[in-house]
């Protein structure tokens, strides 16, 4: 087996695609694989042998291979890198990865999505939309990666290199998947039975891009709160921040003091106004807005009859609230970005990412934006039209998933309705466009589902959000048993002891009229 896997020495002239084809063919054409170490060897011995693994077609370097028994189920954690090269900017690049290979493997393989601008290898756990039991604990082989560059937080310097940018746009997912499948086949002596992907935010965009650009790569995909067009969402947030700047008095440094635009009482007034208008639309007033699509809150209902007083807002404040939740329009009056839904997390400061209206919070990425004017058309020109790299990174345009659907693959989207970075309405819009553009003999509900999560912030959290739910089990059952998911039960710290059904779009959870309001059993999924 080692002879069959000896490293191919390839020069700089051999393309990445050739290496991928070679590795893919190797995995696909050798179902009778034998593991690098006999299957009856101890897990520790098998893991130790992984330190010297080499794969045909990859310049893989294994940095470590450690058998872990005290953190979750016993597994071999292999970390390393491949695609070693010097970039156009003179920096060293490689795709870093970490793969967890459980002692008790189920035959399933899971690629874990990234976050932010990537640049770090996160723990390979497979915990996105997995409820209380992550993928590794279920016996999945899980691989995580940095998408091909090193960098902290929002370091975008990698975009000076073409390949690094292409990798971030999604090509690293294919490369890592092929590598991971080959590693799994080598380690266990058999190819994976099923392959999955799960990610949120940037990982949600990677999920979308994978279904769009590599439709045969995965059997099942979970895409959460996809950062599908950050050029537009960031533009919209900048415009909303400037609207608040305009009504904020100048601080000691001369910059707009957004803490004075709305008092705590004003913010509470806005939240209570939203709840008063929309909380009961699902049949029960419980501090959650399940039927957000029917919410018609009018900020003008909070307008003071004359001047400013407790319990009402000025005309300027009302206008800012309205603009914050409205679509961001270009000069022609067309939406450059969709509206944000009215929901319970709008004033949150308890989450890592503050609520949509908390531009006064230092953690808000717009906090240092003190501009007093904003040109939407100019911003779109610079962010989209003048930046072809960003257009490639964005995943909102390609809507035809016919090959993905026709081969029997499944995709589940989820999005928190209180997400302050990416409007859940944008994911709804994509889902609708995708449903229309994908021409197959299958109904969209036979291969795609969307779940909106009331009160949940970006990927998790939210002061009134139930952010714990297991969509991974639903996806596996859908792929392997052809059992399509219906409602998914959610719980969370926001309301201890409470459960609610998350309903597939376009339905929502409606209270039946009797029964325990904290029990999911007391709710039905109703169409809007």
Exactly one of 279, 343, 419, 467 is catalytic; which is it?
419
Q: How many Å apart are CA 182 and CA 79, to the nearest integer? A: 15
Q: Residue 115 has what DSSP assignment?
A: -
Q: Which two tokens stand for residue 154?
A: 């929002």
Pure H helices in 261-384 = 264-278, 315-325, 376-380
Exactly one of 75, 145, 415, 458 is catalytic; which is it?
458
> What are the C-alpha distances in Å from 191 to residues 26, 61, 184, 185, 404?
10, 21, 7, 4, 21
206 in Cβ contact with 199 (< 8 Å): yes
DSSP 221-257: EEEES--TTHHHHHHHHHHHHHHHHHTSPB-TTSSB-
Q: How many Å apart are CA 208 and CA 36, to the nearest integer? A: 34
The yes-or-no answer on residue 75 being catalytic is no
The yes-or-no answer on residue 145 being catalytic is no
The yes-or-no answer on residue 210 being catalytic is no
Q: How many Å apart are CA 172 and CA 164, to the nearest integer? A: 9
User: E strands of 342-491, at which residues?
Assistant: 410-416, 448-453, 468-469, 488-491
Q: How many Å apart are CA 422 and CA 428, to the nearest integer? A: 11
Q: How many Å apart are CA 59 and CA 52, to the nearest integer? A: 13
16 in Cβ contact with 83 (< 8 Å): yes
Q: Residue 102 has what DSSP assignment?
A: E
193 in Cβ contact with 216 (< 8 Å): no
Q: Which two tokens stand for residue 84?
A: 């070693």
Report helix, strand or coil for 278: helix
Exactly one of 144, 195, 201, 210 is catalytic; which is it?
201
> What are the C-alpha distances in Å from 38 to residues 29, 34, 97, 100?
21, 8, 25, 19
122 in Cβ contact with 91 (< 8 Å): no
How many other CB atoms are found less than 10 A from the CB of residue 474?
Answer: 23
C-alpha torsion angle, residues 119, 123, 125, 127 (rounded to 10): -60
Q: Which residues are catalytic?
A: 201, 419, 458
């Amino acid at each position: 087996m080692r002879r069959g896997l000896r490293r191919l020495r390839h020069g700089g002239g051999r393309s990445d695609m050739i290496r991928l084809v070679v590795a893919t063919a190797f995995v696909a054409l050798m179902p009778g694989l034998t593991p690098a170490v006999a299957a009856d060897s101890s897990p520790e011995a098998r893991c130790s042998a992984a330190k010297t693994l080499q794969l045909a077609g990859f310049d893989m370097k294994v940095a470590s291979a450690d058998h872990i028994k005290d953190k979750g189920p016993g597994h071999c954690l292999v970390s390393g890198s491949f695609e070693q090269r010097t970039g156009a900017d003179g920096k060293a690049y490689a795709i870093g990865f970490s793969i967890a290979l459980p002692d008790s493997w189920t035959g399933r393989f899971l690629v874990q999505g990234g976050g932010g601008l990537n640049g770090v290898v996160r723990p390979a756990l497979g915990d996105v939309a997995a409820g209380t039991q992550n993928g590794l604990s279920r016996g999945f082989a899980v691989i995580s990666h940095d998408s091909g560059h090193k960098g902290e937080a929002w370091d975008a310097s990698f975009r000076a290199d073409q390949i690094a940018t292409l990798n971030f746009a999604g090509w690293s997912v294919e490369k890592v998947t092929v590598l991971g499948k080959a590693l799994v086949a080598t380690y266990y002596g058999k190819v994976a039975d099923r392959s999955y992907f799960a990610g949120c935010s940037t990982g949600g965009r990677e999920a979308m891009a994978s279904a769009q650009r590599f439709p045969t790569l995965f059997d099942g995909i979970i895409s959460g709160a996809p950062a599908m067009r950050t050029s537009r969402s960031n533009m919209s947030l900048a415009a909303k921040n400037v609207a608040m700047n305009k009504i904020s008095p100048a601080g000691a440094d001369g910059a707009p003091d957004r803490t004075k635009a709305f008092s705590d009482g004003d913010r509470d007034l806005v939240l209570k106004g939203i709840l008063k208008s929309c909380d009961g639309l699902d049949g029960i007033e419980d501090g959650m807005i399940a039927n957000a699509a029917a919410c018609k809150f009018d900020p003008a209902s909070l307008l003071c009859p004359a001047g400013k007083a407790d319990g009402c807002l000025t005309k300027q404040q009302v206008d800012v609230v309205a603009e914050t939740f409205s679509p961001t329009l270009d000069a022609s009056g067309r939406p450059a970005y969709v509206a944000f839904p009215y929901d319970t997390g709008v004033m949150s400061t308890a989450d890592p990412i503050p609520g949509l209206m908390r531009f006064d919070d230092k953690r808000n990425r717009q906090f240092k934006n003190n501009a007093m004017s904003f040109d939407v058309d100019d911003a779109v020109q610079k962010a989209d039209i003048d930046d072809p790299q960003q257009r490639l990174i964005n995943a909102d345009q390609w809507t035809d998933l016919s090959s993905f659907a026709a081969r029997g693959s499944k995709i589940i989207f989820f999005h928190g309705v209180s997400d302050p970075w990416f409007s859940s309405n944008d994911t709804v819009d994509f889902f609708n466009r995708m449903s229309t553009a994908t021409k197959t003999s299958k109904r969209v509900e036979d291969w795609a589902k969307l779940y909106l999560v009331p009160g949940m912030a970006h990927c998790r959290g939210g002061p009134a959000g139930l952010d714990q739910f297991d969509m991974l089990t639903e996806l596996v059952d859908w792929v392997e048993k052809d059992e399509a998911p219906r409602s998914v039960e959610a719980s969370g710290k926001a309301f201890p002891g409470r459960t609610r059904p998350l309903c597939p779009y376009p339905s929502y959870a409606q209270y039946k009229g009797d029964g325990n309001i904290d029990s999911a059993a007391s709710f039905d999924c109703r169409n809007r």
